[in-house]
């Protein structure tokens, strides 16, 4: 898979929800696995479907971070494939951290994000589930959900 870079217009499009029953559970799982391989090859910690040219609401998150964030650990037991993720609640408390993006090579931007979020996503049977994310994990999820909404880190730059 090739990672799409800015200014490709697909990066600015809001994605469409996925109906797993129509897409196919095994096809979706394979696409997610391919995205995870692509993400690790590029040394990223997350990847959203628009970044590989697909206008669908799908993102993957690494169980471990890359060398760009030494000392950080997402503390996940496995890689995550997020189907139709939406942030449904967030903390008022925020922090600011420098972020990079695989679709904006060489660009680093200070981005303010909530330190805690609640996310609703679908499983491979099209059933919704909720989970909470904190700290760096929350930051990565917010970054990928932004991609699914056509938002890039250059839109979030802290002044």
Would you say residue 63 has pLDDT above 90?
no
Say if residue 101 carries a ligand binding annotation: yes
| 5 close to 105: Cβ distance less than 8 angstroms | yes
Three-state secondary structure call for residue 46: strand
Say if residue 11 carries a ligand binding annotation: no
CB within 8 A of 74, min separation 6: which ones? 45, 61, 62, 63, 64, 65, 136, 137, 140
Say if residue 90 carries a ligand binding annotation: no
The beta strand positions in the chain, using DSSP E, are: 46-48, 58-61, 80-90, 94-101, 104-114, 116-122, 128-134
Q: How confident is the model at residue 69 (pLDDT cuts 50, 70, 90)?
A: low
pLDDT in tens, 130-148: 999 998 889 999 999 999 9
Residue range 9-155, CATH number: 3.90.45.10
What is the residue extent of each domain of the chain?
9-155
pLDDT in tens, 73-113: 556 678 999 999 999 999 999 999 999 999 999 999 999 99
Q: Give the residue numbers marked as catalytic.
A: 144
Cut 0.95: pTM above it: no
């Amino acid at each position: 898979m090739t990672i799409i870079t800015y200014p490709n217009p697909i990066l600015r499009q809001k994605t469409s929800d996925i109906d797993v029953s129509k897409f196919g559970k095994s096809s979706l799982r394979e696409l997610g696995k391919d995205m995870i391989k692509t993400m690790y090859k590029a040394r990223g910690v997350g990847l959203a479907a628009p970044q590989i040219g697909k206008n669908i609401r799908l993102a993957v998150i690494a169980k471990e971070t890359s060398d760009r964030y030494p000392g950080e650990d997402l503390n996940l037991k496995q890689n995550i494939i997020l189907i139709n993720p939406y942030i449904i609640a967030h903390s008022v408390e925020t922090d600011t951290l420098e972020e990079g993006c695989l679709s904006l090579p060489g660009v680093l931007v200070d981005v303010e994000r909530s330190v805690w979020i609640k996310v609703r996503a679908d499983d491979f049977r099209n059933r919704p589930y909720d989970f909470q994310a904190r700290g760096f994990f929350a930051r990565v999820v917010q970054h990928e959900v932004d991609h699914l909404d056509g938002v890039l880190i250059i839109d979030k730059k802290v002044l």
